[in-house]
């Protein structure tokens, strides 16, 4: 029965889910209609909100492009390629291959979500070269591991409330990570997801007649240096320039962590790039990998400004606050984490940014938790998990992974829909009873 449900989900999504660009246009229209009808926003004010917010994610957009490009550069280096091939050697049968990709993705996303997106996609490609397994499910499994990111070491909301000087410190004080990320209920949710998600992806492995096999091309050998190099050729094909720059980059990273710095998008991208410079050895090899990796960044460049416009509509019109208030209005102290989680999942479809979502929902959920006497750290993590949960439907963060994998959103979303239902149940149980 589970196989039949999965096949039905895949068929429905393949037939009715549009390309991710059309997806963002639909969400723009839904946000606009909600602001016009629910918030009674004037049409001209709505246009000003949308246009004024269109470019507010430029820094984040560039960071995501670099997640894709620097991750691709690093994966193309000979040592990393050998490591991925070695790990892929443990895949074996199709079901085991799917489980392996899921577990690797969960572990990588728990460490850092940007790192996890790239590693998951690249590992799925490598496993696909070794095992005749449905490539769509393999990539969906890699993206399924992304569900744990906001309960992991790079979770933006729990890290924010643990940072002195955060926006709502006067209301909440500092909430240490021992009460959020390393709390008993959060660790229980993570442990349950680390078991349930691999079992689900294994169970979704299609029958041979329904399997779509795709073998990514083997890596082309590096272009040899010219036999009679010019001075320019010599500089492009020699390690003399790459070595000092790469070593300086590693020295900076060592100083960063020695000074108490943590992982963030900029540090992950910097580390990927510096390691790529060192391991490619020559500028020519790095530039060849860059040329190949940048080709998948088009969706990020075009679509992220639309999401910035959607965020501006929801925040400035007050629609996001209205949604949060509606869910909180009938909550009790015991059920507030549940309703917070569900409202966060809905808001995330329009504001797929952990930091942005916290800024919108915290002014509603913090006073509600205090008035009801609810467990504030649990409410904080409910926002975080709600933000992570519906990323299984929201293609915003899937774009770099899909670009690396060479697939469309409709290719994996049927499997992600099945994961959405199961992981939602796990998280709700953890937030309510753990």
Distances (CA, A) of 340 to 30, 70, 365, 384: 22, 36, 7, 10
Q: Mean pLDDT by 10-residue block, N- to C-terminus, for the chain (434 residues)?
A: 83 84 91 95 96 89 83 82 87 92 94 84 90 93 95 87 86 90 96 97 88 71 67 83 93 93 79 92 89 78 89 92 90 94 92 82 92 94 95 86 88 93 96 89
Neighbours of 16 (CB within 10 A): 8
pLDDT of residue 228: 66
pLDDT value at residue 217? 66
pTM for this predicted structure: 0.84
pLDDT of residue 182: 94
Distance, CA of 281 to CA of 77 (rounded, Å)? 9
pLDDT of residue 224: 65
Q: Which two tokens stand for residue 206?
A: 């299609």
Question: For residues 246 and 277, is the Cβ–Cβ distance under 8 A?
Answer: yes
List, in order, residues 6 or more apart from 19 with CB less than 8 Å away.
408, 409, 410
Query: 134 — alpha (psi -120 to 50), left (phi > 0) or beta?
Result: beta
| N-terminal to C-terminal alpha carbon distance within the chain | 30
Please choose, from the candidates 204, 226, 231, 210, the residue with its C-alpha nearest in 3D space to the C-alpha of residue 98. Answer: 204
Alpha helices in 318-408 (DSSP H): 319-328, 336-348, 354-372, 376-389, 398-405
Q: What count of other Cβ atoms lies within 10 Å of the Cβ of residue 245?
A: 13
Q: Which helix (H) or strand (E) holds 307?
A: helix 298-317
Give yes or no for a contact between 276 and 73, defined as CB atoms under 8 angstroms apart.
Answer: yes
Strands (E), 390-429: none
The DSSP 8-state label assigned to residue 294 in this structure reads G
CA 326 vs CA 82, 267, 314, 331, 352: distances in Å: 52, 38, 15, 10, 20
**d(C-alpha 128, C-alpha 216), whole Å:** 7
| CB burial of residue 403 (10 Å; 0-12, 13-18, 19+) | buried
Nearest to 135 by CA among 119, 123, 118, 148: 123
Pair 124, 101: CB distance under 8 Å: yes
Q: Which pLDDT belongs to residue 218? A: 60
In 220-260, alpha helices (H): 231-236, 242-258
The pLDDT, as a whole number, for residue 66 is 85
pLDDT of residue 223: 63
Using the structure block, give the residue that is written with the tokens 């008035």. 371
Nearest CA-CA partner of 75 in 290, 297, 396 = 290
**Which residues, 6+ apart, have CB-to-CB distance to 408 below 8 Å?**
19, 20, 402
């Amino acid at each position: 029965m589970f196989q039949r449900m999965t096949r039905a989900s895949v068929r429905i999504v393949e037939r009715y889910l549009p390309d991710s660009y059309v997806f963002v246009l639909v969400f723009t229209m839904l946000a606009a209609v909600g602001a016009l009808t629910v918030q009674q926003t004037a049409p001209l004010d709505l246009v000003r909100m949308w246009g004024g917010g269109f470019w507010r994610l430029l820094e984040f957009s560039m960071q995501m492009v670099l997640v894709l490009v620097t991750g691709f550069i690093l994966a193309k280096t000979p040592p990393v390629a050998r490591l991925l091939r070695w790990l892929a050697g443990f895949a074996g049968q199709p079901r085991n291959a799917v489980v392996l990709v899921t577990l690797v993705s969960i572990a990588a996303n728990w460490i850092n979500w940007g790192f996890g997106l790239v590693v998951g996609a690249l590992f799925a490609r490598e496993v696909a070269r070794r095992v005749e397994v449905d490539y769509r499910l393999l990539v969906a499994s890699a993206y399924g591991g992304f569900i744990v990111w906001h309960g992991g070491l790079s979770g933006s909301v729990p890290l924010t409330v643990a940072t002195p000087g955060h926006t709502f410190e006067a209301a909440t004080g500092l909430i240490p990570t021992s009460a959020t990320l390393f709390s008993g209920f959060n660790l229980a949710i993570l442990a349950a997801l680390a078991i349930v998600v691999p079992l689900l992806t294994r169970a979704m492995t299609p029958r041979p007649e329904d399997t779509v096999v795709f073998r990514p091309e083997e890596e082309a050998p590096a272009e040899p240096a010219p036999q009679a190099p010019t001075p320019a050729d010599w500089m492009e094909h020699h390690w003399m320039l790459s070595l000092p720059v790469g070593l300086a980059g590693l020295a900076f990273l060592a100083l960063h962590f020695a000074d108490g710095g943590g992982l963030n998008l900029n540090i992950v991208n910097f580390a990927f790039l510096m390691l790529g410079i060192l391991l490619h050895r020559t500028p020519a090899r790095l530039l060849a990998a860059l040329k190949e990796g940048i080709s998948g960044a088009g969706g990020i460049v075009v679509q992220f400004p639309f999401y910035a416009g959607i965020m501006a509509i929801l925040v400035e019109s007050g629609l996001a606050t209205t949604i949060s208030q509606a869910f909180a209005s009938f909550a009790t102290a015991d059920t507030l984490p549940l309703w917070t989680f569900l409202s966060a999942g809905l808001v995330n479809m329009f504001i797929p940014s952990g930091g942005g979502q916290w800024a919108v929902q915290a002014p509603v959920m913090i006073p509600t938790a205090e008035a009801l006497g609810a467990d504030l750290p649990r409410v904080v993590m409910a926002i975080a998990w709600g933000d992570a949960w519906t990323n299984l439907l929201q293609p915003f963060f899937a774009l770099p992974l899909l670009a690396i994998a060479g697939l469309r959103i409709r290719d994996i979303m049927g499997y992600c829909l099945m994961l959405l239902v199961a992981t939602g149940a796990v998280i709700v149980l953890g937030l309510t009873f753990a």
